[in-house]
A and B are shown apart, each in its own frame.
Chain A
Amino acid sequence: MDMITMPAVNFTPILPEIFLSVLAMCLLLINVFSPNGKKTYLTYISFIGLVVAAVLVGSGWGAHIESFNGAVVLDNFATFFKMIFLLSAGLAVLISDQYMEREGCNHGELYPIILFTVVGMMLMASGTDLMTIFLGLEVMSVSLYVLAGFNRANRKSNEAGLKYFLLGSFSTGFLLYGMALIYGATGTTRIAGIASVLGQMTLPATNIMLVAGMLLMFTGFAFKVAAAPFHMWTPDVYEGAPTPMTAFMSTGPKAAAFAALLRLFLVALPTLQVEWSQLLWVLAVLTMTVGNITALRQDNIKRMLAYSSIAHAGYCLVGFTAGNGTGTSAILFYMLSYAFMNIGAFAIIILIAKKGESNGTVMDLAGLGFKRPVLALAMTIFMFSLAGVPPTAGFIGKFYLFSGAIQEGYIWLAILGVLNSAASVYYYLRVIVYMYMKDPSEEFEWTSLTAPVALALVLAVAGTLILGIVPSFVLQYAQMAVSML
């Protein structure tokens, strides 16, 4: 009988993942054995856990360690993205408690599931094998399906969970089929292996199996980043899911999908760049335009932000189309900025909404500007940042994304991008118009601000402004992250 020999495995690259998994399981136990009632302490434990994970991740900056036989890597690219996931999860955790308490679904399982999602996302960012990436994607997706339908008593949340699950599994099928075809064409699932096989091929673009595999994989990821025409699920799921989970879904998992997409296309498939950049050009324009034009007509803020999130994926695709250092590092920067500004905006929505997700339209913001000036000021900063007006993170991010495109000669793409940006100003400013320039239709009792939400808002405002005024150091980190790919 042959002994199964364990290969020498370096666990350092997945240390944060291990830590978060263990923490999540402990939280499950704590939750079971703790008395019913308040779950706020779970918020703090998870938040501190995420901070510790961030320290662990951060300590790996500059290292380049491959492990598990080349299936996982620890590099700056993965580290930067892991920071985005941790930030997004941390902010989401902070804004969850108040909302879940109000909606009557404050089940302690929420926090472990969020942590598992983070583990999945981290595997996606550091996976250098199609199998690892797929594994990460599934861990993330399955957890997200649960999170979307977390408010069991609410029909819209149920609908969101089911819809996300059905469409998500469908798209995963595409992804898996694509991966299978790539494996068939190249004989390996290692990203570096695929790249070297392709490098030796003459005219890889004529290999139908390979091109079909690439397209199918792209479809799978396009679904996750909500790129048109694979965006149809987004508005319903984002509207139906519990607001903190919408905030989380629109930032972290989107960044994770971009992480895997970037690594796959830039490292494994650079020989097909001419082909995929043409494809991306069209998708970028389509995604921006569809997102912005449909967002113009939305009254429900969650739905409006869902469409805007499609548009933001489109801006990132502009940087992706460029495929150069400026454009791709701008995606990293933009995803970080987007986590700050979008979760911040959702935090405000949580505060103005009433039980049962009512009171969530733009009109319900009327009068906020002078009744709760600090909240309104924060919302104003987020809206201007989403619209890309300086001096905010959103502006710097867009500046670098479009610069990447211009550098590669995609002038028209950049022009279409800025025109889209100008159109988006209308619906973001509409929020501000209602906050400051309209009187409230009825007297409204504002929810009080709890400490975790206040902390989240402070972090989000600080992030949006710091990345907008002194972005230099973060931009440099982002550039270091992609230069090591």
Chain B
Amino acid sequence: MSYILSLTTFLPILGVLLLFFIPKESKSVLRGFTLAVTLVTFLASLLILFGFQTNAEFQFVENVPWIAAGPFVMRYNIGVDGISLWLVILTTFIMPLSVLSTWKAVEDKVKEYMICLLILETSLIGAFISIDMFLFYIYWELMLIPMYFMIGIWGGKNRLYATMKFFIYTMVGSLLMLVAFIYLYMLGSQAGIPDFSVLHFYNLRIDPTVQVWMFLAFALAFAIKVPMFPLHTWLPDAHTEAPTAGSVILAAIMLKMGTYGYVRFAMPLFPEAAHRFAPLLATLAVIGIIYAALVAMVQEDVKKLVAYSSVAHLGFVMLGLFAFNVQGMTGSMLQMLNHGISTGALFLIVGFVYERRHTRLITDFGGLAKQMPIFATIFMIVTLSSIGVPGTNGFVGEFLILMGGYESELRWWTVVATSGVIFAAVYMLWMFQRVMFGELNNPKNQKLLDLDAREIAIMVPLVVLIFVMGVYPNPFIEKMDPAIQKLVAQIRPASMNVPVLPVSSQSLPVGHPVMPAQTGAEEPAAHSGMSGQLPAGHPGMTNKGQSSEPVVNPHESK
């Protein structure tokens, strides 16, 4: 049980090793085996979910030495907290669905495709559970490789341009972040921090001017991944060219890597700088929401439209994060999951249509609802969820984000962003109307078959989640709440005395009184050493006796 995290991470890689022995002609065996591997991984991740204690600590921690040379000590240090837990589950949940979606879509080079999918799964899970920052970086870069191949080999017409752009864009950002990683470590080692664990660095007081530069390096890398306006241009290209499973994973999980990076690294490590840049990033987020919505409206390609809607949705997530309060953060975390489910589902739907008609142009369709009633129903539900209609998951997340934003210093940004919800309704419903309703006058569309059992099996879990998370989001919020409370306390800089606004999970999602309570309780946990952050018996803590050491500003100790 204690190795369950490593097991979940490396099960897909184990699957890759076995895949090598399956002859590449037996495609259905390859598909079936990969599906089985992803399902087993999902089951393993459920053990994590059920074993997870609702508190703010990292759990299932594994911490063993890995590299120790020169000034650096890197450890294989992994664990989940309330923030990463759901993202891991999202990853393992989306993966089997992606494999199922390739059943008919990928006929060529099936074996290589499955290998890419499985390596991708390992690197995604690995990045979410890394506590050691170096380990995180390894996974963060590693995930580019399979995605690069997936877009480049199985992608559309313009795939080479798209995949190169995707790789180099992401690489530039992450290399600059690497410089900041190393610099941060150097600052830390002057202050007596013994290894690369991010938990140690949370307590490092960094000079605000230095913070600015480091925050910018981190923020750039993560903003490219999110992607935020104006760094989003790789996304529509990558999405349009990627095969369905690639798009699903890219949208549902990989983009979350960017927002997760803000939550785990950029914001808590450099709180002063994060506050300083909040107006800028919120402005970019709001521009992203409005701009992407406007661009989405005029798209002729359904997949591109969904890609731009992704940019808009992640704009909301960023806005919620930079509200710096519990509602906003909770909303953002939920919205990450919601976006994973609804946009993932939208890309799957686009894939279904594309497999049948080999076109994605809105003008080629019309009246499909008559021919494909099951498809129409599911598509409608997913569309509504993407818009954020009450009763679906999208509503809960967006509502919390907007409420959090309104309560924060970003009130006017939030007011503008709210119009994005209306725009979302416009472009999604307009697209739905043009594709599904109207006259079924294109002869090619008159013989379309409705969804088959496999396709329904893919969509049912997503549709169920859309409703469950829309009607009863409490189980999700409860697990993440303590971690978010702690995070909000962490990113409050010492100079600012903004009261923490607690969110009571019972009164969600509709309005609840705002109480400036719990501030006293949160304060010491975030500022006094590491004892509050590491689970008992954490080797890094007990050996070095770090918890009792005062944290020194490295600039003073020079």
Q: Are A414 and B179 in contact (CB under 8 A)?
A: yes
Cα distance A326–B71 in the bound complex, in angstroms: 7
- What residues of chain B lie closer than 8 Å to A472, measured between beta carbons? 66-69
Cα distance A478–B148 in the bound complex, in angstroms: 34
Q: Which chain B residues in 142-156 approach chain A with CB under 8 Å?
A: 142, 144-145, 148-149, 152-153
Q: Are A437 and B152 in contact (CB under 8 A)?
A: yes
Decide: A426 near B182, CB < 8 A? Known: A370-B109, A436-B153, A472-B66: no
Q: Which chain B residues in 94-152 approach chain A with CB under 8 Å?
A: 109, 112, 137-138, 141-142, 144-145, 148-149, 152
Q: Kindly state whether residue A422 has any CB partner on chain B within 8 Å.
A: yes
- What residues of chain A lie closer than 8 Å to B552, measured between beta carbons? none
Q: Kindly state whether residue A151 has any CB partner on chain B within 8 Å.
A: no
Our pick among A373, A390, A391, A403 for the contact of B182 (Cβ within 8 Å) is A403
- What residues of chain A lie closer than 8 Å to B437, measured between beta carbons? none
Cα distance A411–B185 in the bound complex, in angstroms: 13
Main secondary structure of the interface of A (DSSP, over half): helix
Q: Kindly state whether residue B374 has any CB partner on chain A within 8 Å.
A: no
Q: Kindly state whether residue B168 has any CB partner on chain A within 8 Å.
A: yes
Q: Kindly state whether residue A400 has any CB partner on chain B within 8 Å.
A: yes
Q: Kindly state whether residue B178 has any CB partner on chain A within 8 Å.
A: yes
Q: Kindly state whether residue B159 has any CB partner on chain A within 8 Å.
A: yes
Q: Are B182 and A414 in contact (CB under 8 A)?
A: yes
Q: Are A422 and B168 in contact (CB under 8 A)?
A: yes
Decide: A433 near B164, CB < 8 A? Known: A418-B179, A472-B68: yes
Cα distance A325–B175 in the bound complex, in angstroms: 23
Residue of B nearest to A418 (CB): B175
Q: Are B175 and A421 in contact (CB under 8 A)?
A: yes
Residue of B nearest to A436 (CB): B153
Q: Kindly state whether residue B64 has any CB partner on chain A within 8 Å.
A: no
- What residues of chain A lie closer than 8 Å to B144, measured between beta carbons? 389
CB B459 to nearest CB in A, in angstroms, measures: 31
Q: Kindly state whether residue A366 has any CB partner on chain B within 8 Å.
A: no
Q: Kindly state whether residue B160 has any CB partner on chain A within 8 Å.
A: yes
**How many chain A residues touch the partner (CB < 8 A)?**
38
Q: Are B152 and A476 in contact (CB under 8 A)?
A: no
Decide: A419 near B160, CB < 8 A? Known: A326-B70, A403-B72, A436-B152: no
Q: Are B141 and A437 in contact (CB under 8 A)?
A: no
- What residues of chain A lie closer than 8 Å to B430, measured between beta carbons? none
Residue of A nearest to B189 (CB): A407
Most chain B CB atoms below 10 A, which of A384, A390, A476: A390
- What residues of chain B lie closer than 8 Å to A436, measured between beta carbons? 149, 152-153
- What residues of chain A lie closer than 8 Å to B137, measured between beta carbons? 390
- What residues of chain B lie closer than 8 Å to A384, measured between beta carbons? 145
Q: Kindly state whether residue A185 has any CB partner on chain B within 8 Å.
A: no
Q: Which chain B residues in 476-492 approach chain A with CB under 8 Å?
A: none
Residue of A nearest to B108 (CB): A370
- What residues of chain A lie closer than 8 Å to B168, measured between beta carbons? 422, 425-426
Residue of A nearest to B69 (CB): A475
Beyond the given A370-B112, A384-B145, A390-B142, please list 5 additional residue pairs across the A-B interface where CB-CB is below 8 A: A373-B112, A419-B172, A433-B163, A471-B69, A472-B68
20 contacts between A and B (CB under 8 A): A326-B70, A390-B137, A390-B141, A391-B142, A399-B182, A403-B70, A403-B182, A403-B186, A418-B178, A418-B179, A419-B172, A433-B152, A433-B160, A433-B163, A436-B152, A437-B153, A470-B67, A471-B69, A478-B69, A479-B70
Interface residues of B (CB under 8 A from A): 66-72, 109, 112, 137-138, 141-142, 144-145, 148-149, 152-153, 159-160, 163-164, 167-168, 171-172, 175-176, 178-179, 182-183, 185-186
Q: Which 8 A-B pairs have the closest CB atoms?
A: A475-B69, A418-B175, A390-B138, A472-B67, A326-B70, A437-B152, A422-B172, A406-B182
